[in-house]
Amino acid sequence: MSKRIISLSLVFLLTVATLLGCATNNNGGTNQAGSNEEQPNEEQSSGVVNLYTSRHYETDQELYKVFEEQTGIKVNVVEGKGDELMERLNIEGEATEADVFITADAGNLHAAKESGLLQAIESDVISNNIPDKLRDDENHWFGITKRARVIVYAKDRVDPAELSTYEALTESDWNKRLVVRSSDNMYNISLLASFIDIMGEEAATEWAQGIVNNMARDPQGGDRDQAKAVVAGEADVAIMNTYYIGGMLNSEDAEEVKVAENVGIFFPNQDTTGTHINVSAAGVTKHAKNKDNAIKFIEFLSSEEAQEKFASANFEYPANPNVEPAELLKSWGDFKEQDIDLSVLGQNQQQAIRIFNQVGWK
Q: Any residues with CB less than 8 A from the CB of 186 and at least 6 apart, and which? A: 104, 105, 107, 108
- For residue 205, the 8-state DSSP code is H
CA atoms of 26 and 41, how far apart (whole Å)? 6
Which one-letter amino acid corresponds to residue 134? Answer: L
- For residue 305, the 8-state DSSP code is H
| 243 has binding-site annotation | yes
Instruction: Answer whether 183's CB lies under 8 Å from 299's CB.
Output: no
C-alpha torsion 44→47→50→53, nearest 10: 140
The residue ranges of DSSP E strands in the chain, in sequence order, are: 48-53, 74-79, 100-104, 118-119, 142-154, 178-179, 237-241, 263-266, 276-285, 317-318
CA atoms of 180 and 185, how far apart (whole Å)? 10
CA 241 to chain centre: 12
Q: Which residues are annotated as a binding site for Fe cation?
A: 56, 243-244
Q: Which residues are annotated as a binding site?
A: 56, 243-244
